[in-house]
Structure 1
Amino acid sequence: MDVRVFEAPAGERLDVAISAALLLSRTYAKELVMSGFVQLDGRPVAKAATKLSGVELVSVLLPPPRPMRVEAEALALDIIYEDDDLAAIDKPPGMTAHPTASVRNGTVVNALLGRMSLAKDKDFDPEAEDYRPGIVHRLDKDTSGVMVIAKNADAHRGLSAAFKKRLTEKEYLAIAVGSLGDDLYMDGPIGRHPLHGRKMMVGGGNPRSASTYFRVLARTPQHTLVRAKPHTGRTHQIRVHLAHLGAPVLGDSVYGRASTLIPRHALHALRLTLPHPRDHQAISFSAQVPADMVEAWLKLGGSWPPDLI
């Protein structure tokens, strides 16, 4: 990897200084900071908005060059439903929703390009850092389950508005490490962690309102199988709320700890209901619970609820 070092300009934001000194886009400079590639005087820094005093030495570790243009790829992806306006997919764990400055392949967008028309495909540049035609909402990389994709501009506007106005109903399944009450409503604003740029927390910097309803489906002595219905859609919301309640998601190395029972966090987007962008009638999509979560629960000594898909 290539290391670049420069003296900090006084009074400037860190990401702006990196962008100017290394001739990088500000988006990419911010991602480098949040990904842990930047140090001030030899100490890691995670906040792109850090103000520089002018006496620091900025070190930036540049990852190897990445392929720029986003191309269609023959990736396995289960299409749950498709019509002229939208498609519902069952996103597998480990797949990122759309390309970023550092991820250019292996995403949902790569899998769908060439397979179907995607909203705003012609409005986005395939070489842009944030290339996401068709994307109206996201799931975390290691979260599996239902995602909806817009296939034209009108559908994109309608679906985006439905998520923004909270006209959607989302239902998730999680295995939590710890015990929870049978029915629990968590109302806790979520903001960015002050020390870890990619981590969120209840409170934190610039917190935004967040609420989740939890219902316990089954228990073992030390774990809980829980259904979660988030009313809002904050980053990592269910994971943050469960961790705050003292019952982090099994396998969540960010908010809890990794597990030998499952190679990712045990969180699945089970069902999504929303108004169809053409006739505004409610339509629901469900994704079968993946085998890794079922197997993990059984290994914990739990019994799988017979009515759970």
Structure 2
Amino acid sequence: MEDLTIEITKEMAGERVDKAVSSIDGDWSRSQISNWVKEGAVKVNGETVKPNYKVRLQDIIIVTPPELEELDVVPEDLNLEIVYEDEDVLVVNKPKGMVVHPAPGHAKGTLVNGLMHHCTDLSGINGVVRPGIVHRIDKDTSGLLMVAKNDAAHASLVDQLVKKTVTRKYVALVHGHIPHDKGTIQAPIARDPKERQNMAIVDKGKHAVTHFRVLERFGNFTLVECRLETGRTHQIRVHMKYIGFPLVGDPKYGPKKTMDIGGQALHAEVIGFNHPRTNEYMEFSAEPPAEFAELLESLRDKD
């Protein structure tokens, strides 16, 4: 990866160096840049600085990204719940707390590690770290994912995602009493310019549409079904916060006073697609995990 040279402009002057660099390149998070500053991979006017260094007009910053660590993806028996499988595709019910594919800091225990133990025939389009992975859900979101077992199936499923013909329905518990029974949120999503590790509603962001309907109300909480028309990063979490009903337990987008349930109350309940070989429409569903169901029961008891 080539070095990046940045000259500080009037608009950037006064910002912390880690924030200034991460705002220039959206592929690098602020925490990642901060670590690089500490390691001496980011220099200002040829000198090493601390992450809280405030950049000045005409400072020259040179970023030398460290060589990416080669990840050795090891098959692991993770007792995955396979909902459906044939020679082309499989549908897996990912548990809450499991990362989808290996990355620095998450080399083991990911869905990909488990898939590689379960079967050896996975598509290679996304390389050795993400074999078979067509789409993702967040670590602390549970639920259904479709996985491609060969490149032809992978191409077909991606094409269906692009054409918005894949059915993806989630159930989410949100803060607040939603008065209307259904609605559509259409608001563009991009990296939050103020906090690069978060997503936000940004005027020039990517087109994003979420349809929702109320399933049940519990006083100051509402259970909703969200159907994705597009699939942006953190889309449901960002959209529900945007209309004033953030997800319960969400550490990024939820209110400061939320339930401590180990992450957002969000479950990918339904996935539907046309089979890559037969073109037959197939749809699968999985009930929310036990802790999600228990949370709902506790709210019902309080009503």
Same fold, TM-score > 0.5, yes or no? yes
Sort the Cα spacing of 1:176 and 1:59 in 2 relative to 1 into closer, same or farther, 3 A.
same
The answer on 1:299 being equivalent to 2:298 is yes
In structure 1, what residue type is equivalent to 2:182? D
Q: Which residue of 1 aligns with 2:40?
A: none
Q: CA deviation at 1:300?
A: 2.5
Spell out, residue by residue over 1:12-51, the C-alpha distance to the aligned partner (whole angstroms, 9 max, x if none): 9x99xx9xxxxxxxx9x94454546356864569xxxxx9
- Partner Cα distance (1:148, 1:223) in 2: 30
Sort the Cα spacing of 1:157 and 1:274 in 2 relative to 1 into closer, same or farther, 3 A.
same
SS of 1:208's equivalent? coil
Query: Residue 271 of structure 1 contacts residue 287 of structure 1 at CA under 8 Å; is this kept in 2?
Result: yes
- Partner Cα distance (2:255, 2:171) in 1: 18
Q: Which residue of 1 aligns with 2:198?
A: 199
Q: CA deviation at 1:277?
A: 0.4
Q: Which residue of 2 aligns with 1:147?
A: 145
Q: Which residue of 2 aligns with 1:282?
A: 281
- Partner Cα distance (2:156, 2:302) in 1: 40
The answer on 1:228 being equivalent to 2:226 is yes
- Partner Cα distance (2:87, 2:117) in 1: 15
Query: Residue 9 of structure 1 contacts residue 53 of structure 1 at CA under 8 Å; is this kept in 2?
Result: no
Sort the Cα spacing of 1:213 and 1:147 in 2 relative to 1 into closer, same or farther, 3 A.
same
Size of the alignment, in residue pairs? 274
- Partner Cα distance (1:9, 1:218) in 2: 52
List aligned pairs for 1:1-309, cutoff 5 A: 10=7, 30-31=27-28, 33=30, 35=32, 37-38=34-35, 42-43=50-51, 55=59, 68-121=71-124, 124=127, 126=128, 131-180=129-178, 181-203=180-202, 206-257=204-255, 259-260=258-259, 262-301=261-300
Query: Residue 140 of structure 2 contacts residue 262 of structure 2 at CA under 8 Å; is this kept in 1?
Result: no
Instruction: Give ranges in structure 2 of 5+ residues lacking alignment.
Output: 10-16, 38-43
Query: Residue 30 of structure 2 contacts residue 197 of structure 2 at CA under 8 Å; is this kept in 1?
Result: no
Query: Residue 261 of structure 1 contacts residue 299 of structure 1 at CA under 8 Å; is this kept in 2?
Result: no
Sort the Cα spacing of 1:172 and 1:250 in 2 relative to 1 into closer, same or farther, 3 A.
same
- Partner Cα distance (2:125, 2:239) in 1: 38
SS of 1:301's equivalent? helix
In structure 1, what residue type is equivalent to 2:186? D
Query: Residue 192 of structure 1 contacts residue 201 of structure 1 at CA under 8 Å; is this kept in 2?
Result: yes
Q: CA deviation at 1:101?
A: 3.7
Sort the Cα spacing of 1:106 and 1:67 in 2 relative to 1 into closer, same or farther, 3 A.
farther
Alignment RMSD (CA, Å): 3.5
Spell out, residue by residue over 1:43-94, the C-alpha distance to the aligned partner (whole angstroms, 9 max, x if none): 569xxxxx996526789999xx977311111213100000000000000011
Q: CA deviation at 1:118?
A: 3.9
Instruction: Give ranges in structure 1 of 5+ residues lacking alignment.
Output: 1-7, 19-26, 46-50, 305-309
In structure 1, what residue type is equivalent to 2:163? K
Query: Residue 208 of structure 2 contacts residue 232 of structure 2 at CA under 8 Å; is this kept in 1?
Result: yes
- Partner Cα distance (2:94, 2:281) in 1: 21
SS of 1:271's equivalent? strand
- Partner Cα distance (2:182, 2:27) in 1: 40
- Partner Cα distance (2:98, 2:254) in 1: 21
Q: Which residue of 2 aligns with 1:3?
A: none
Q: CA deviation at 1:120?
A: 3.3
SS of 1:84's equivalent? coil
SS of 2:153's equivalent? helix
Sort the Cα spacing of 1:59 and 1:239 in 2 relative to 1 into closer, same or farther, 3 A.
same
- Partner Cα distance (2:220, 2:126) in 1: 50
- Partner Cα distance (1:30, 1:186) in 2: 26
- Partner Cα distance (1:161, 1:91) in 2: 23
Spell out, residue by residue over 1:90-146, the C-alpha distance to the aligned partner (whole angstroms, 9 max, x if none): 00011111122442211111111132134334983x4xxxx2010001101111000
- Partner Cα distance (1:217, 1:159) in 2: 29
Spell out, residue by residue over 1:153-197, the C-alpha distance to the aligned partner (whole angstroms, 9 max, x if none): 111111111111111011100000112221111111112101211
In structure 1, what residue type is equivalent to 2:237? R
In structure 2, what residue type is equivalent to 1:99? P
- Partner Cα distance (1:170, 1:226) in 2: 14
